[in-house]
Structure 1
Amino acid sequence: MTTEQTTAADGFAYTLTRTLNAPAVAVWQAWTTPEQYTQWTGAAAGSVEMDVRAGGVWKATMVTPDGGQFPLTGSYLEVAEHRRLVTGMDVPGKPEPAAMTMELDEQDDQHTRIVLSQTCDTAEERDMAEQGSAMLLDSLSTFLTARA
């Protein structure tokens, strides 16, 4: 996995790139199907709802390793099936959602390059978001490998 951190004029950004051993359609389904998403993200069973279309909303309750739970909500800002998904996450106290972009580039029938990127307001927010995204990619890779 490669990581790129930048400080843009309007914030602090990161980009994570990884090649997954799965076709783009499988990666897309894992990310946009509530049943599959629950299996690899650590969301509470039955808590994931997704209306995957531009303007659609999503929600999930994540479970921490110590058993704590915290709800997340947001919307889909851009949807290009099997290629690009821009997801907004509601952040308390902020008027605009935190947007994360996922881009898929199918390399061949069994390999897809995934790129996650996000711009945050502070270096601390960026570092936390980047760490969380790296953990998501690790879990997604494990999930897809097990399904192959």
Structure 2
Amino acid sequence: MSTTQTAATTGFSYTLRRTLDAPAAAVWQAWTSPDSYARWAHAVPGSVEMDVRAGGKWRATMLTPDGGSFPLTGCYLEVAENRRLVTGMDVPGRPEPAAMSLELTEREGNRTEIVLRQTCETAEERDMAEQGSTMLLDGLGAFLAGERDS
């Protein structure tokens, strides 16, 4: 697996960039297929539901490293297949979902650059979200490398 990552953090926003050895369509499929997503994102099998269209809903129950679990829900704010996905995550006490954007750009050699961005309300929220997003990208990279090698 060939991955490179750079992170830029400003204010309460972060940007993660990573390049994976997989075409954009494979990255998109892994991110938007409930079964695939559950495998690499550490979700409880069978808990992931996705209606991948603008206004569609999603839900998943995530597993924590210590064996716990927690439910997440949200919606899709923008969908451009194989190019851009903006998801909103429901946050208790907030009227609007927390938005995270994922942009995919095809690169030479059947590779894809992922740019993941999110703006948060506090530094603590940003740091936790960035850590979680980094873990997601790690899992995605390992999943795609395993798919390619199998």
Q: TM-score range by the shorter chain?
A: over 0.9
4+ residue stretches of structure 1 with deviation over 2 A?
none
In the alignment, does 2:106 pair up with 1:102? no
Give the distance between the partners of 1:127 and 1:16, measured in 2 at CA.
12
Confirm or deny: 8 A CA contact 1:100 1:118 kept in the other structure.
yes
Give the distance between the partners of 1:101 and 1:42, measured in 2 at CA.
20
Counterparts of residues 104-119 of structure 1 (less than 5 Å):
104-108=104-108, 110-119=110-119
Kindly state the Cα deviation for residue 109 of structure 1 after the two structures are TM-superposed.
Answer: 5.1
Deviations 1:18-68 (A, max 9, x none): 001100000000000001001001100100000000000000001112221
Deviations 1:83-140 (A, max 9, x none): 0000000001111100000000010352000000000001111011001101110110
Higher mean Cα deviation, 85-94 or 65-74?
Answer: 65-74
SS in 2 for 1:103: strand
Counterparts of residues 133-148 of structure 1 (less than 5 Å):
133-148=133-148
Confirm or deny: 8 A CA contact 1:104 1:114 kept in the other structure.
yes
Give the distance between the partners of 1:120 and 1:46, measured in 2 at CA.
29
How many pairs does the alignment contain? 144
Aligned to 1:5: 9
Confirm or deny: 8 A CA contact 1:23 1:108 kept in the other structure.
no
SS in 1 for 2:47: coil
Tell me the TM-score normalised to structure 1 length. Answer: 0.95
Counterparts of residues 29-44 of structure 1 (less than 5 Å):
29-44=29-44
Kindly state the Cα deviation for residue 82 of structure 1 after the two structures are TM-superposed.
Answer: 0.2
SS in 2 for 1:91: coil
Unaligned runs of 5+ in 2: none
Aligned to 1:54: 54
Give the distance between the partners of 1:67 and 1:14, measured in 2 at CA.
28
Percent identical among aligned pairs is 69
Counterparts of residues 52-131 of structure 1 (less than 5 Å):
52-108=52-108, 110-131=110-131
SS in 2 for 1:47: coil
